[in-house]
Structure 1
Amino acid sequence: METSVKAVWQGSFKQGNGQLDIENSKLNSIAFKPSYAKNDGSFSNPEELLASAHASCYTMTLAYILGENGLSADTIETSISLVISNNVISNSNLTLQAKIPAITEEQFQVFAQKAKEMCPIGNALKIDISLEAILLK
């Protein structure tokens, strides 16, 4: 698999604007600015996009593992917070909440950990990744 994204920046770092176009997607013309910019909800930033990629990748990886084991989730919800200090991302903290019929707590924890280990985005980050996995009833 190969994917292509084009990022275009116009103007100075402090006053400029960026735009992302993502091939094979309806996600085009996504505005981006530095994370320190006051956000009015009209743009994203690279750190937020990275966290989004990690959350969606982890969630789909867990869904894949469940399917391989004959299970299907009612819901899988993954939240991510990145720890950034001195322009370095040091940690990605995942919080998982899932409602999965016919699964034991032990199976759930094993599959949640396996998804963390298999997630391509998490593996690419090469940082510490914590996981809190909560099975909802």
Structure 2
Amino acid sequence: MKRNATAVWNGSLKEGAGKLTTQSKTLENTQYSFKSRFEEGVGTNPEELIAAAHSGCFTMQLSAYITEAGFEIENIETKCDIDLVDGTIVSSHLTVSAKVEGISEDAFQQEVTKAEKNCPVSKVLNAAISTTATLV
């Protein structure tokens, strides 16, 4: 499976602006800019999108593990906080709240730890990075 997204940027870093479009069109020409990333501007930013991806991926992985363990899930809610310091993402913190019938605290924590380590987005920094660049 492969998925893609496209970013288009016009202008300088501080005065310019960009648009993001995902393959599914969930994001379609969604604006982002220096202000939406580092100040309080309208639009999204890469760190917010990473937080959405991590919380969504982790929650699905946790759901799979809890279901495999034989428990019924009423709901799982995960908030992800991405911390960007000096141009580097230094942490991703997941805050999870779940309602699962019959699961013990210990069993739940074991599944959380397993999901944290095994969801594909948690592993993203171990991914191979490649670039195809064209100057036009």
Shorter chain as denominator, the TM-score bin is 0.7 to 0.9
Q: Aligned residue for 2:40?
A: 38
Structure with bigger gyration radius: 2
Instruction: Quote the offset at 1:26 in angstroms.
Output: 2.7
Q: Aligned residue for 1:120?
A: 120
- The alpha-carbon distance between structure 1 residues 72 and 31, as it changes in their structure 2 partners (threshold 3 A), is farther
In structure 1, C-alpha distance between the alignment counterparts of 2:55 and 2:5, rounded to whole Å: 19
Identity %: 35
> Is residue 85 of structure 2 the alignment partner of residue 90 of structure 1?
no
Gaps of 5+ in 2: 127-136
Instruction: Quote the offset at 1:49 in angstroms.
Output: 0.9
Instruction: Quote the offset at 1:97 in angstroms.
Output: 0.7
Q: CA RMSD in A?
A: 1.5
Q: Aligned residue for 1:133?
A: none
Query: Which one has more relative contact order, counting CA pairs under 8 Å at least 6 apart?
Result: 1
Instruction: Quote the offset at 1:27 in angstroms.
Output: 2.5
Instruction: Quote the offset at 1:64 in angstroms.
Output: 1.2
TM-score in terms of structure 1 length = 0.83
Gaps of 5+ in 1: 127-137
Q: Aligned residue for 1:99?
A: 99
> Is residue 10 of structure 2 the alignment partner of residue 29 of structure 1?
no
Instruction: Quote the offset at 1:19 in angstroms.
Output: 0.8
Instruction: Quote the offset at 1:109 in angstroms.
Output: 0.5
TM-score in terms of structure 2 length = 0.83
Q: Secondary structure at the match of 2:29?
A: strand
Instruction: Quote the offset at 1:94 in angstroms.
Output: 1.2
Aligned residues: 124
Q: Secondary structure at the match of 2:121?
A: helix
